Amino acid sequence: MTALLTASNITAFYGASQALFGVDLQVGEGEVVALMGRNGMGKSTTIRTICRMAPQKSGKIIFAGQSLNRLPSYKAAQLGIGLVPEGRRCFTNLTVEENLIAAAREGFWSLATIADLFPRLGERRGQSARSLSGGEQQMLAIGRALMTNPKLLILDEATEGLAPVVRQEIWAAIRRLKSETGLAILVIDKSLKELSSVADHAVILERGKTVWAGATADLNDDLTHRYLGV
């Protein structure tokens, strides 16, 4: 499988404190990769570094054959990285439709295809994003990232804090994205069960460093107990 994203030995700092000590990960075209690790192990920082939102000290990030080192985050997004951030952060001063239009770029994803993936957004298109439930805001955040027509979708804790029923809706949408569109997805989530069923590969981080990478089918109890505390 051709590598869409390759991060090699990346290190990052927040001021003087080092957050990443050498992260390696790879996402192939049409592949779903789970980024795993306990809280505070550097998963979100890795994602922020890939999206050029956290300062990278060393290492290489290649996306679609192009180096992301030194690129500002809007350029990385223009190359085709769509981020669904932790905590959703929709533009609450805009309506659902306006949130989607503001991010829109040419491609497969449009208001109609987003409404097909998340019918609730279609029903609430004229409603202020502020008035949506947490689950609907999450759907909107995913929809907004898809409207940029990315090659790689990054989901950071997309189901965190949501009701079980809504979580299932989000996972169902991720499965649809995988099977129907072949979109490459890098996903962080706490649900090992769901991640194992959706992801083709997994990467485990421990103290800001990649300690394991392989097929999700190879994840065993020893690994999950040692690195994920499950």
Q: Which residues bind other proteins (CB under 8 A)?
A: 51, 53, 72-74, 77-78, 82-83, 85, 89, 91-94, 98-99, 101-105, 144-145, 147-148
Task: Give the separation between CA 64 and CA 68, rounded to whole angstroms.
Answer: 10
Closest C-alpha among 58, 60, 55, 53 to residue 76:
53
* Nearer Cβ to other proteins (74/108): 74
CB 11 within 8 A of CB 29: no
Strands (E) in the chain, as ranges, are 3-14, 17-28, 32-36, 56-63, 66-67, 81-84, 152-156, 184-188, 201-206, 209-215
CB-nearer residue toward other proteins: 45 or 216: 45
Q: Least distance in Å: CB of 229 to other proteins? A: 30
Measured from the CB atom, is 37 or 150 closer to other proteins? 150
- Residue 121: exposed, middle, or buried by beta-carbon count in 10 A (0-12, 13-18, 19+)? buried
CB closer to other proteins out of 15 and 229? 15
**In terms of Cα–Cα distance, which of 89, 28, 3 is closest to 53?**
89
Q: Which is nearer to other proteins, 47 or 204 (CB)?
A: 47
- Give the shortest CB-48-to-other proteins separation in angstroms: 10
Q: How far is the CB of 98 from other proteins (least distance, A)?
A: 5
Shortest reach from residue 111's CB to other proteins, in Å? 12
Q: How far is the CB of 171 from other proteins (least distance, A)?
A: 23
